[in-house]
Structure 1
Amino acid sequence: MKHDLRSRILIVDDTRANLKILGACLRDRYAVSVATSGRAALEVARSRTNPPDLILLDIVMPDMDGYEVCRLLKADPQTARIPVVFVSALSETGDEARGLGLGAVDYITKPFSASIVRARVKNHLELKHAREELERQNEILREYNRMREDMERISRHDMRTPLNAIINLPQLILEEEERDIDEDLHDCLTTVMRAGYRLLDMINLSLDLVKMEQGTYALKPESVDIAATLRKVATDLETLSRGMDVGVDIDVTYGERPVLVLAEELLCYSMMANLIKNAIEASPAGETVRVQVQAGPLTKVVVHNRGAVPEAARANFFEKYNTVGKEGGTGLGTYSARLIAETLGGGVAFETSEAEGTRVTVSLLPFAAS
C-alpha cells in the first residue's frame, strides 16, 4: 500500500463522530487535520505555511454551511485551487448539482464506504498533483522562452557593433570626393554597404517575428511597390542563383509601373526573399524560378520552380522547423513567410507535383489611395 503522508487533508464537520470515522479512513495514508466549523475551516485553508491539499466538507453546519464555505474558498485566489469534496447526508440531485456548481470536484453521500472515500481522495490528489506538475513545467517553458528572448536581444545588440563598421566604412570611403575610386571598387563597396543594411534589417526583423508569434506586433501599413521589392530581392540573390545555375525571372505585366500593396517594405522584402531563395535552392540546375504578379481583389505573387516539395514535408509545409532533405535548413523560411503574410492581412498557399513543380502564392491587400 502506497502512503502519501506529504499530502494534507482537511476534514470539516460539526459532528465529532463523523470526523473520527473519516479520519480513521485516511490518517494512515495522509496528514489529516480537522475543523468543526466553516470559519475554522477557512482559517486552516488560508494558512500560508501548511494549507490543505484537499478538503472534505460537510454541508449542514451551524453558523456557516458548506455551500458558503465552498463559495468563499473559490472566491479567494489563495484557496481557489484547493479541491473540495462534499461529504453530506443530503442526497437529492439538486444538492449535488448545487455543490458542483460552486466549484466542488466531487460529492459523496452519507452513509459512505471507506474504500470509496479513499479511492476518490486518491484520484483527486493525483489530479491536483498532475495539474501542479503541468503548471510547473509550463512555468519552466515560459522562463526558458524569456531567457531565449533575452539571449536573442543580447545577440542582436552585439551583432550591431561589427555591422556598424561594415556599413559605415564603405560609406566613408565613397563620400571622400578627393579619392579616385574606379567603377568596380565603387560597385563592390556599394554591394557591401547594401548587404550590411539588409543584414541589419534582418536582425531587427527577428525580434518582430517573436512579436508576431505572440500577437503583439504593431503593424504600420504603408504603400509598398511589390514589383520593385521583387526586383531588389532578385538582385540580392543573384550570386546564389548564379552559383546554383538557376535563373530568376520577375514577370510584372504592368511593365515598369509600380504595383502598390498595403504592407511594410521590410516585411515584404523578408517574406519574398525567403520564398524566392527557397525556390532557387529547390529548383533543378538549368531551370528558371518564375515570379509573377497578378492583379485582382487581392494582389497575388506566384513563385514557381520546377522542383517538387518532398512528400514528407508537404503536410506541414508552413509549420515551424519543417525541413526535409535540405542540408543546413532551419525550417523557418516558409514559416516566417506565412507569419508575415497573415500579419499583413493576407495569406500564403502552395501546390506541388512532380509534373508541375511547386507554386507558392502570396496574397496581399492592394493599396488604395485615399
Structure 2
Amino acid sequence: MMPVAESPKKTLLIVDDAPENLDVMKSLLNADFNVKAAVNGRVALKIASQQRPDLILLDVVMPEMDGYEVCRQLKADPTTRDIPVIFLTALDGVNDETKGLELGAVDYISKPLTPAILMARINTHLALDEGRRKLAAQNHELMEAARMREDVERIMHHDLKGPLSSIVSIPNVLRSIGSLNERQLNYVQMLEDSGWKMLNMIDLSLVLLKIEYGTYQPDLRDTALIPLLQQVIREQQQAFQRKDLNLLLEMPGIPVGYTLQTESLLLQNLFTNLLKNACEAAPAGSDVLIKLMPTDKGLQLVFENPGEVPRSIRSRFFDKFVTEGKKHGTGLGTYSARLIADVLLIKLALDTSQPGKTRLLLALEK
C-alpha cells in the first residue's frame, strides 16, 4: 500500500513590532504551521507580495505604519487582497474593531490571547478561505464549460444552416423551370416554408442559449401584432387538426394595424409555445380561446383552454423540465416562453382561478 501524502502545512505571517510577542506566537504555532514573521508593516507587505502566506496575524499598534494601514495596502493590491487578515491587538473598543473589519479583516482578537481560541479562529478562517477558493475555481470551470457549450452550438448551427440554405433555394429553381401543376407548386411551397422554419428554429435555439446565459440583447422593431398572432393560430390549427379543436380569436376594439416594439421571431415563438401548450392540454373537440383586450398600458393577451393545470406543478409551471400528464411533454415549451417573455419585458402569468380552465396571461405594454 502506498503511503497517503500529508497535506502541506499552511503558511502564517505574524506582524508585530515587539520581538518577544513574535517569539511567543512562533512557539505556539510552529508545530502546526509554517510561520513567517515581520517586525513592521513595510517588511510585512514585502513578504506578503513575494511569498503569499495563507493567513496574516496583524498587530494594530506599530510605529511608522500601523496595522490598519498595512491592511488597507494589502487589500488594495490584487496579489494580496484575498489573503485573510486577523487583527491581534490590545485595542478592544467597538470603533477599533469596526474599523478593522471595514478595512477587510476577517476577524479581530483582543490581547491577551487565549491559545485555544486563537487556534480555533485561525483554523476556521483557513477553512473558509479554502472553501472560497474552491468555489471560485468551480465557478471558473462552469463559465468555461458554458463558453465551450456556446462555441459547440455555434459550430453546429453553422454546419446545419449551410445545407438548409441550399434546400431553401431549390424551390425557386423548380419554379423557374415551369410546367409544374398546382399540386406540385403547393409541395414546392411547403418545402420552402419548412426550410425557412427550420432555419428560424436553428437561429432561435442559439438565441435561447444566450438568453439563458444572460448575454442576449433583443433587436426591437415595430412589429404588426395581429398578422403575427393570426399566423401562429393557423399553424397550430393545422398542427392539432387531429384533435378537431376550435381556435377562436377575439380582439374587440383592437385595430388590425396595432404594432409593438419587439423582436418578431421571439414574439412568434412565445405565442407558439403558449398556444401549443393550450392545445395539448385541451380535450379533443373543445374550444381554445385567444383573446386580446385593451389595458391602461397596452394590451393583455389571454390563451385559455378547458382543463386545469395539476396542483402539484402550478408553482413551478414555468420552470425547466416541469410537465405532468403529457405523453411526449418535455417541460421546455413553457420554460422557453418564460425566458423569451423576460427578455422582451413581457409579464407572463398562469391563472388557475377559474375552475375547469387554464389561462396564460401576457401583458403587452407599449
TM-score by length of 1: 0.90
Supply the distance in 1 between the matched residues of 2:312 and 2:112 (Cα, whole angstroms): 60
SS at match of 2:202: helix
Residues 1-370 of structure 1: matches in 2 within 5 Å?
Answer: 5-47=8-50, 50-176=51-177, 179-253=178-252, 257-297=256-296, 298-352=298-352, 355-366=355-366
Per-residue displacement from partner, 1:266-290 (whole Å, max 9, x unpaired)?
Answer: 1221111111111111111221322
Supply the distance in 2 between the matched residues of 1:272 and 1:245 (Cα, whole angstroms): 20
Give the deviation of 1:291 after TM superposition.
1.2
Give the deviation of 1:4 after TM superposition.
6.0
Distance 1:162 1:312, change over 3 A: farther
Supply the distance in 2 between the matched residues of 1:135 and 1:161 (Cα, whole angstroms): 40
Distance 1:221 1:145, change over 3 A: same
Distance 1:292 1:75, change over 3 A: same
Give the deviation of 1:73 after TM superposition.
0.3
Per-residue displacement from partner, 1:144-167 (whole Å, max 9, x unpaired)?
Answer: 211111121112112212211331
Please tell me whether the aligned partners of residues 84 and 125 of structure 2 are also in contact (alpha carbons under 8 angstroms): yes
Supply the distance in 2 between the matched residues of 1:5 and 1:18 (Cα, whole angstroms): 26
Per-residue displacement from partner, 1:42-69 (whole Å, max 9, x unpaired)?
Answer: 111112xx41110001122233221111
Supply the distance in 1 between the matched residues of 2:295 and 2:247 (Cα, whole angstroms): 24
Distance 1:34 1:256, change over 3 A: closer
- Greater shift in the superposed pair: 185-194 or 338-347: 338-347
Give the deviation of 1:326 after TM superposition.
3.0
1:7 partner letter: K
Supply the distance in 2 between the matched residues of 1:260 and 1:33 (Cα, whole angstroms): 71
1:152 partner letter: E
Distance 1:110 1:245, change over 3 A: same
Supply the distance in 2 between the matched residues of 1:225 and 1:13 (Cα, whole angstroms): 73
Please tell me whether the aligned partners of residues 244 and 281 of structure 1 are also in contact (alpha carbons under 8 angstroms): no
Give the deviation of 1:131 after TM superposition.
0.9
Give the deviation of 1:214 after TM superposition.
4.4
Unaligned runs of at least 5 residues, structure 1: none
Per-residue displacement from partner, 1:75-133 (whole Å, max 9, x unpaired)?
Answer: 11111111111111223333222222221111112211111110100111111111111
Please tell me whether the aligned partners of residues 254 and 292 of structure 2 are also in contact (alpha carbons under 8 angstroms): no
Please tell me whether the aligned partners of residues 273 and 337 of structure 2 are also in contact (alpha carbons under 8 angstroms): yes
Q: Which residue of 1 aligns with 2:3?
A: none
Supply the distance in 1 between the matched residues of 2:168 and 2:112 (Cα, whole angstroms): 82
Per-residue displacement from partner, 1:323-357 (whole Å, max 9, x unpaired)?
Answer: 23334433222222223233333211121268332
SS at match of 1:315: helix
Supply the distance in 1 between the matched residues of 2:75 and 2:224 (Cα, whole angstroms): 57
Give the deviation of 1:215 after TM superposition.
4.4
SS at match of 2:289: strand
Aligned-pair identity (%): 41
Give the deviation of 1:259 after TM superposition.
3.3
Unaligned runs of at least 5 residues, structure 2: 1-5
Give the deviation of 1:256 after TM superposition.
8.6
SS at match of 2:240: helix
1:310 partner letter: P
Supply the distance in 2 between the matched residues of 1:11 and 1:28 (Cα, whole angstroms): 15
Please tell me whether the aligned partners of residues 254 and 294 of structure 2 are also in contact (alpha carbons under 8 angstroms): no
Q: Across the two proteins, how many residue pairs are aligned to each other?
A: 360
Supply the distance in 1 between the matched residues of 2:253 and 2:263 (Cα, whole angstroms): 21
Distance 1:295 1:22, change over 3 A: same
Supply the distance in 2 between the matched residues of 1:184 and 1:230 (Cα, whole angstroms): 28
Distance 1:354 1:219, change over 3 A: closer
What value does the CA root-mean-square deviation take over the aligned residues?
2.2
